[in-house]
Amino acid sequence: MIDGNSAAALGAIFNGVTFVSWYPITPSSSLAEAINSYAPDLRKDPETGKATYAVIQAEDELAAIGMVLGAGWAGARSMTATSGPGISLMSEFAGMAYFAEIPSVIWDIQRMGPSTGLPTRTGQGDILSAYYLGHGDTNHVVLFPATPKECFEMAGTAFDLAESLQTLVFVLSDLDLGMNLWITDEFDYPEAPMARGKVLSAEDLKARGGKWGRYLDEDGDGIPYRTLPGTDHPLAAYFTRGTGHNEYAFYSERSEDWEQNLIRLRRKFDTARTMVPQPLVDEVEEAKIAIISLGSNDESIAEARDRLRNVGIEVSYLRLRALPISHAVSDFVAGYDKVYVIENNFDGQLHKILLTEMPEHAGRLVSVAKCDGMPLSARFITEAIQG
């Protein structure tokens, strides 16, 4: 048995986290505290006994995310953990991570909002905020673990994606998953090498005769190459800034440069669609209706589907595990008369996102949203579906 936050901490530790900064807030503090509890033994250099990581308790969430960006910029696998009020404070740096393309990870252990909300109750109310956090045209990769095992795995996936895509990755857990104890299968030892992304070393630069551009799309996937501070080559250095820049990271106010940059960022975001964890789909041939959901609603949905099956109603199920969506979601939705988008928030945030991204399916998508601080029950789901 384990809680999701401890699982996340272990996942980070086993997947190369080197920098954590955080500010205490319910219900995310226990994630950083678990790191502080496990890492001293697990991440001790065998020869010197010194730490192969650093954890800093910041003075507030603005500093916490600033530290994450500084560390990610310099080549660490860096993360913070917070909750709703924290991500509001992090929005300026979130936009910078997106626009200046800096690998960074934010775990948002969601609680009830808006505002201070109910700090000790669960919810899934940060989906819209996380997806678009930051002024201007901003978009982030968001991961949705549903179990402690997925918290463990997605801790690693988040770093791999952050470094591969050179961007901010959110992992949206919630209080129910994060702080309660769950029975779990054993976690699998991570076999795959860590993905560190497109980083040019001094040798790489030498081989290229120093030719490169920090925001130049060489490979056509929207993902440029970067160098790390400390690289010993005369052409390694570049300037990171949130203001307009051209492909060589020089300051630019030219319209063409600005637009081309945003077009490339969109291309990069499209590349992300197939790199992020794909939805888990359980299709039943007889089913005319389906459920889309995410995160810790999983168990209640399983129970609801059983109850409905007992009264002769088959329901297919797609569990979304990340944004942005790929065509897998629209292909799924196309096969059903009605698709119930089930979520633990008041405004039906995932429903809104799906409407925006699949307007052709608007007629099929039905919002089933509730937010009263309690996890969603199977009865709530069956009643919504049976009308």
Partner 1 sequence: MSTVTERMKVAAAARTPKTNAIGLEKTEYKGRDSTLCKGCGHDSISARIINSVWELGLPQHRVIKLSGIGCSSKTPAYFLGHSHGFNSLHGRMPSVATGALTANQTLVGIGVSGDGDTASIGIGQFKHAARRNLPVVYIVENNGVYGLTKGQFSATSDKGQMLKYAGVNDLPSLDICLEALAANATFVARSFAGDAKQVEALLKAAISHRGVAVLDIISPCVTFNNHDSSNKSYAWGKANETPIHELNFIPKYEEIEIDEYDDEREVQLHDGSWIQLKKLDADYDPTNKMLAYQTLETARQDGKFLTGLFYINDEEPNMLERLNMVDRPLAALTDADTRPSRDALKQIMAEL
Residues that bind partner 1 (CB under 8 A): 1-2, 10, 13-19, 21, 38, 42-43, 45, 48, 50-54, 56, 58-60, 62-76, 78, 92-93, 96, 186-187, 189-190, 193-194, 227-234, 236-243, 251
CA distance 312 to 124: 30
- Is 182 within 8 Å of 7 (Cβ atoms)? no
Q: What dihedral do alpha carbons 10, 228, 90, 84 form, nearest 10°?
A: -20
Cα Dmax for the chain = 71
Distance of closest approach, residue 249 Cβ to partner 1, in angstroms: 9
- Non-local CB neighbours of 53 within 8 Å, separated by 6+ positions: 13, 17, 18, 19, 20, 39, 43
Residues 6+ apart with CB under 8 A from 315: 284, 287, 289, 290, 291, 304, 305, 308, 309, 385
Q: Nearer to partner 1 by C-beta: 69 or 354? A: 69
CB of 70 to partner 1, least distance (A): 3
The minimum distance between CB 321 and partner 1, in angstroms, equals: 23
> Residue 77's closest CA among 11, 149, 129?
11
Least distance (Å) between residue 100 CB and partner 1: 8
Q: Report in angstroms how near the CB of residue 86 gets to partner 1 at its nearest.
A: 14
Give the nearer residue to partner 1 in terms of CB position, either 87 or 381: 87
Q: Please confirm whether the linkage preceding 234 is cis (ω < 30° from 0).
A: no
Closest to partner 1 by CB, 160 vs 343, is 160
| Closest CB to partner 1 among residues 13, 371 | 13
Amino acid at the residue 259: E
Compare residues 7 and 323 and give the one whose CB is closer to partner 1: 7
Nearest distance, CB of residue 160 and partner 1, angstroms = 12
If the CB atoms of residues 24 and 190 are measured against partner 1, the closer one turns out to be 190
Distance, CA of 130 to CA of 198 (rounded, Å): 25
241/288 with CB nearer partner 1: 241
Nearer to partner 1, 76 or 325 (CB): 76
Nearest Cα neighbor of 73 from 226, 200, 201 is 226
Between CA 57 and CA 35 the distance in angstroms is 12
Minimum distance of partner 1 from residue 274's CB (angstroms): 24
Q: How far is the CB of 173 from partner 1 (least distance, A)?
A: 18
Q: Which residue has the tokens 């009020």?
A: 85
How many other C-beta atoms are found inside a 10 Å radius of the C-beta of residue 193? 8
N- to C-terminal Cα distance for the chain? 37
